[in-house]
Structure 1
Amino acid sequence: MEDKVVLIVGGTGGIGRASSDLFSRAGAKVVLAARDKSKAEEKAKELNDNGGEAYAIEVDVTDLGSVSDMAREVHDNLGEIDVLVNAFGTGLIQPLLDINPEDAKEVFDVNVYGTFLVTQTVGRYMATAKKGRVILFPGILGKAVMKNTSVYSASKYAVTGMAKALVEEYRRAEIKFSLLYLGGVATEFWDNPKVEMRVKKEAMLTPEEVAKAVYYAASQPEQSVLNEIVIQPESHQMV
């Protein structure tokens, strides 16, 4: 990954932070994009203090102008974007009849529209360069549903469908897509009051374990691609 440009959107979340550690140690130029730029700057400083090359940038994934500015700034200052990690998202686990419609709209705005905007915008640069890897996180609820996840699962199934269609659309542009179907990961996702589910974080996947899968997907040989991977906590195996 030496001198590769890796853009992690959602770089202040658990998976984004853990992934940035691996990419930075491998010599990549890491860009941490997040709504809270101060948190991104803190992580970038940590990476730089440890000998890496990291940058922070503010972005609102639901705003086209913000996303466009992010992609242009990264491309103009660092060069072609080699890897896009879409590590952002928001959760909502509640019974259908209890869901505030505004909360549902936010989930679709961030998880679906945001994924569309970021992938489309960065994809334009990758298509011109005829190279690039895009890593997405439909999560296990983008593959199999569970009780009280109607809205959230719908948003994640949309990410799955979008990515599968883009594999066909961008085949000649040589853009490679990887989908990570992850079971419960011990992140701040579960601290969201809109996620009404009791969990045991100590039994979940760690962000560091997931980061290894992210790095593996991004560092495949040029002629290969990791299409999909399912990683579950031991207690939730799906075989």
Structure 2
Amino acid sequence: MRLQNRVAIITGGANGIGKAACETFLNQGAKVVIADFDEASGKELEQHFQNQGKEVLFIAVDVASQESVENMVAQVLAHHEKIDILINNAGITRDAMLVKMTEQDFDRVLDVNLKGVFNCTQAVVPHMVSRGYGKIINTSSVSGVYGNVGQTNYAATKAAVVGMTKTWAKEFGRKGINVNAVAPGFTKTAMVEKMPEKVIQHMESIVSLQRLGETEDIANAYLFLASEESSYITGHVLHVDGGIMM
């Protein structure tokens, strides 16, 4: 068990990559907090894992709200008395070409994908500092490294996440906290699977490994960075993209 008795908060944990991460972490002995805005899916997943005898807790949260995040963290500490791991996985897209992107869609993506990472980390770090231990993993994207057509807002947030990751690694390394990021490529989520088959085939064709990533591929990267196997890694951006950009 690589995460035995570790307490992990996984934001956006009710669906997609976050859901896969919850299952992976639970199977490795972690006590998982599913932190998500989607209350129906979160409660359903909580019950599913509890039926398997797993130690899991769902807490509804809007990561874009500092008050909501602080309440979530307070509930985790009241229940578990510690937080070992924070996975800043929650994120949304509101894609459009620059000339058609609305201010509302630009702001909402920044609020969730960027401010949400800031809010969660700021709320959790003081507790980690007091214990001299912590693992923080932020979700970036290949779009944040290389850019992507129609994703001005999304790419901007994911690039900023890289900057925050490296900054926090420098700020908190001496406090016993590792801060890293994962940059997924094209991954088989519900959103991607709804795309036309022709589009999916094109996406596969430009990936060196000639396939889309599975949600488990990203979850396993989270697991590595959350485990003691990565104890001497910090400030790193781990690309899990099948070699899409080499």
- Worse-superposed segment, 199-208 or 115-124: 199-208
**Aligned equivalents of 2:175 and 2:78: distance in 1?**
21
Counterpart residue number, 2:208: none
Q: What displacement does 1:51 show?
A: 2.3
Aligned AA (2:228): Q
Q: What displacement does 1:214 show?
A: 1.1
Query: Stretches of 4+ moved more than 3 A in 1?
Result: 188-193, 198-203
Q: Is the 8 A contact 1:13 1:88 kept in 2?
A: no
Specify every segment of 5 or more residues in structure 2 that has no aligned partner in the other structure, as ranges.
Answer: 205-210
- Worse-superposed segment, 180-189 or 65-74: 180-189
Q: What displacement does 1:222 show?
A: 7.2
2:225 is aligned with 1:217:
yes
Q: What displacement does 1:81 show?
A: 0.5
Instruction: Evaluate the alpha carbon distance shift between residue 50 and residue 174 of structure 1 in structure 2; reply closer, same or farther with a 3 A threshold.
Output: same
Q: Is the 8 A contact 1:13 1:87 kept in 2?
A: no
Q: 1:178 aligns with which of 177, 180, 196?
A: 180
Q: 1:25 aligns with which of 24, 27, 32?
A: 27
Secondary structure at the aligned position of 1:33 is classed as strand
Counterpart residue number, 1:143: 145
Counterpart residue number, 2:16: 14
Note the alpha carbon deviations across 1:44-79, whole angstroms, 9 max, x for none.
Answer: 111122221111101011111110010011012102
2:212 is aligned with 1:204:
yes
- Worse-superposed segment, 28-37 or 144-153: 144-153
Q: What displacement does 1:148 show?
A: 2.3
**Aligned equivalents of 2:233 and 2:28: distance in 1?**
19
**TM-score where L is the length of structure 1:** 0.91
Q: Is the 8 A contact 1:135 1:217 kept in 2?
A: yes
Q: Is the 8 A contact 2:7 2:80 kept in 1?
A: yes
Q: Is the 8 A contact 1:140 1:181 kept in 2?
A: yes
Q: 2:43 aligns with which of 18, 41, 44?
A: 41
**Aligned equivalents of 1:123 and 1:49: distance in 2?**
32
Counterpart residue number, 2:136: 134
**Aligned equivalents of 1:191 and 1:116: distance in 2?**
30
2:218 is aligned with 1:232:
no
Instruction: Evaluate the alpha carbon distance shift between residue 101 and residue 85 of structure 1 in structure 2; reply closer, same or farther with a 3 A threshold.
Output: same
Q: What displacement does 1:223 show?
A: 3.9
Counterpart residue number, 1:160: 162
**Aligned equivalents of 2:36 and 2:175: distance in 1?**
27
Counterpart residue number, 2:93: 91
Aligned AA (1:172): R
Aligned AA (1:110): V
**Aligned equivalents of 1:189 and 1:61: distance in 2?**
21
**Aligned equivalents of 2:158 and 2:63: distance in 1?**
16
Counterpart residue number, 1:53: 55
- Worse-superposed segment, 157-166 or 217-226: 217-226
**Aligned equivalents of 1:104 and 1:191: distance in 2?**
24
Q: What displacement does 1:191 show?
A: 7.7
Specify every segment of 5 or more residues in structure 1 that has no aligned partner in the other structure, as ranges.
Answer: none
Q: Is the 8 A contact 2:133 2:177 kept in 1?
A: yes
Note the alpha carbon deviations across 1:200-237, whole angstroms, 9 max, x for none.
Answer: 58742110121111111111347423632112135x2x
Q: What displacement does 1:192 show?
A: 9.5
**Aligned equivalents of 1:146 and 1:62: distance in 2?**
24
Q: Is the 8 A contact 1:91 1:192 kept in 2?
A: no
